[in-house]
């Protein structure tokens, strides 16, 4: 039982620590910023080389869907926490 709780706690801790960087990366990807956080500037060739700039210029629908990723990631971490808690309580005979 303790092993499940510790493993679940570590998984939740790692997942929660990744929510911030994931949210920042998706925001940069959809807001027209390049990977370093600077504004997208087309070179003399007219080609925008950064993928974040390409996504923002190509599809507002894709940007909207990509902005949902951190929320669903957080819901998945919540589900892991509930599953670990339920499994531990069930093994202990509480449920």
By CB neighbour count within 10 A (0-12 exposed, 13-18 middle, 19+ buried), where does 5 fall?
Answer: middle
- Domain membership of residue 31 (yes or no) is no
Of 4-13, 17-26, 59-68, give the lowest mean pLDDT range: 59-68
- Domain membership of residue 10 (yes or no) is no
- Domain membership of residue 56 (yes or no) is no
- Domain membership of residue 32 (yes or no) is no
Q: Mean pLDDT across the chain, nearest whole number?
A: 77
Question: For the chain, what percent of residues have pLDDT higher than 70?
Answer: 71
Q: How many domains does the chain have?
A: 1
Q: Give yes or no for a contact between 51 and 30, defined as CB atoms under 8 angstroms apart.
A: no
- Domain membership of residue 78 (yes or no) is yes
pLDDT score, position 52 = 55
Domain that holds residue 79: 69-95
């Amino acid at each position: 039982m303790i092993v499940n709780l510790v493993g679940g706690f570590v998984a939740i801790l790692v997942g929660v620590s990744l929510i911030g960087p994931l949210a920042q990366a998706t925001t940069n990807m959809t807001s027209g910023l390049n990977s370093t956080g600077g504004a997208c500037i087309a070179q003399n060739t007219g080609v925008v080389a950064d993928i974040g700039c390409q996504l923002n210029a190509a599809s507002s629908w894709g940007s909207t869907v990509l902005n949902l990723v951190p929320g669903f990631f957080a819901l998945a971490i919540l589900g892991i926490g509930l599953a670990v808690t339920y499994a531990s309580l069930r093994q202990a005979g509480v449920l």
